[in-house]
Structure 1
Amino acid sequence: MRFQLLSDLHLETEDFTPQPAPGAEMLVLGGDIDSTWQGLSHFRDWPVPVLMVAGNHEFDDRDVGATWPVLRAHCESLGIRLLERESLVLADARGRRIRFVSTVRWCDFDAFGESRREKAMRAGSYFMHVQRSTQGGRPFDADLVREEGLACKAWLAAELAQAPVAWDATVALTHFAPSLRSADPRYGHQSGTASFCNADDELLPLADVWIHGHLHCRHDYTVVHPDGRSTRVVCNARGHARRGEAEGYDPLFLLEV
């Protein structure tokens, strides 16, 4: 299956018009498309099916729990299939069945281990302040983000562990990165990196491909496992042009599974 991959477009501030990639059988949106949601209208009547995982900025200035049904309904009205703690099996033109396993997978701040968790959570409080979200009327702070992140991880681990029955390949789709291998080279492994990357390396062998966004840089690397199998990890985030992050960005990038 060949699909176009777009994430971190930030259309609430960026001047960018997405275009369908020739040859794509599907469009996958990796989150942080537009914090106002207005930019999602670009994908109405898209020529191929559109799958989306929400990013953290889809919840800016909103209550996380209350937002889910509203965001789902909005995406559905545009013909976008929003996946959160859900799996979906789709067949490509050759009849090959691809399972998409998707969740935001909020960070749990354990990217550097338990010993550095407290420091990572303090650093993460800055990003929560920028997002200005709530959860059940409470500020969606680092503690609540970690709680959501652990719930996402538990679901993801259980879902990925299912033995292949009705699919030929598995694609994990998360907004947050699954590994420190995806850390932005501009910032390295500082405490704030744990707000972008999780330590889900033990789950990588359960997916053939892992797609993520969130970091405003591109990644395409392969992790080889002890049994000889491998997982391709891909991020095609655009980021902010004013910071030079969009330089060299390929909006027509195709990923084949």
Structure 2
Amino acid sequence: FLNNDVFYYQDVRFIGTTLWTDYKLDGRYNQSDVMNIVENILSDHRYIKFGTDGFFTTQHALMLHNTARNFLQEELNKTWEGKTVVITHHAPSLQCAHPDYQLDQIAGAFISDCEELVAKADLWLYGHTHANVDFQIGKCRVVSNQLGYERERVPVAFRPELIIEI
């Protein structure tokens, strides 16, 4: 279980966190408006229980995002001579937006602008958006290769043969 934790294997550092979103996108929408819309639309907030607080709210997600972002910043600032792979559930860049939704308000539930952190890694793997990508941000390769739900049309097909050399 790699949530806000680091695993070292030979000369590779794996940093993992869920990285819930900050609901800010690129600033075109009011953050609290996005949080209200997302909380009313996404089933996560109707089905996921959170401690003794009842259901998992966007406020909880934002709190966890801030914790994760601070964790990533701290870990990525540590000196490491090998390669660094970051693994998150949520997407770390606005460039990861699903092409059918782009940067609408619901996209705030899936992605955050963390490109200043992405630039410090060699490889960043993520999921959650139901859109597959493979592109560069600086020296970092950003990859998502999601199968998606059964009968779902994923914009770029899942690549079962994908192997990434680090």
**So what's the TM-score if we normalise by structure 1?**
0.60
1:100 alignment counterpart: 14
Write the letter of the residue equivalent to 2:9. L
What is the rounded CA distance, in whole Å, between the counterparts of 1:215 and 1:255 in structure 2?
20
What is the rounded CA distance, in whole Å, between the counterparts of 1:248 and 1:195 in structure 2?
22
Contact 1:222 1:232 in 2 (8 A): yes
Residue 129 of structure 1 and its aligned partner are, at CA, apart by: 4.8
Structure number with bigger Rg: 1
**CA deviations over 1:186-216 (Å, ceiling 9, x no partner):** 1111011011001111111210111101111
Residue 111 of structure 1 and its aligned partner are, at CA, apart by: 2.1
What is the rounded CA distance, in whole Å, between the counterparts of 1:187 and 1:236 in structure 2?
18
1:135 alignment counterpart: 50
**CA deviations over 1:46-94 (Å, ceiling 9, x no partner):** xxxxxxxxxxxxxxxxxxxxxxxxxxxxxxxxxxxx2111111112xxx
Task: Pick one of 188, 209, 212 that aligns with 2:123.
Answer: 209
What is the rounded CA distance, in whole Å, between the counterparts of 2:45 and 2:57 in structure 1?
11
Matched, 1:84 2:23: no
2:78 alignment counterpart: 162
> 1:219-234 counterparts in 2 under 5 A?
219-224=133-138, 230-234=139-143
Write the letter of the residue equivalent to 2:50. Q
Matched, 1:189 2:103: yes
Residue 148 of structure 1 and its aligned partner are, at CA, apart by: 1.1
Give 5+ residue unaligned stretches, structure 1: 1-81, 92-96, 225-229
Residue 246 of structure 1 and its aligned partner are, at CA, apart by: 8.2
What is the rounded CA distance, in whole Å, between the counterparts of 1:194 and 1:185 in structure 2?
14
Contact 1:107 1:149 in 2 (8 A): yes
2:152 alignment counterpart: 243
Give 5+ residue unaligned stretches, structure 2: none
Write the letter of the residue equivalent to 1:134. K
Residue 113 of structure 1 and its aligned partner are, at CA, apart by: 3.1
> Structure 2 vs 1, CA of residues 177 and 105 (structure 1 numbering), >3 Å: closer, same or farther?
same
What is the rounded CA distance, in whole Å, between the counterparts of 1:153 and 1:114 in structure 2?
21
2:164 alignment counterpart: 255
Contact 2:85 2:125 in 1 (8 A): yes
What is the rounded CA distance, in whole Å, between the counterparts of 1:171 and 1:180 in structure 2?
19
Q: 4+ residue stretches of structure 1 with deviation over 3 A?
A: 128-131
> Structure 2 vs 1, CA of residues 131 and 232 (structure 1 numbering), >3 Å: closer, same or farther?
farther
> Secondary structure of 1:157's match?
helix
**CA deviations over 1:109-131 (Å, ceiling 9, x no partner):** 12233962112112221215565
Aligned residue pairs, count: 164
**So what's the TM-score if we normalise by structure 2?**
0.91
Task: Please state which structure has a larger fraction of its residues in strand.
Answer: 1
**CA deviations over 1:146-166 (Å, ceiling 9, x no partner):** 1111111111111111011xx
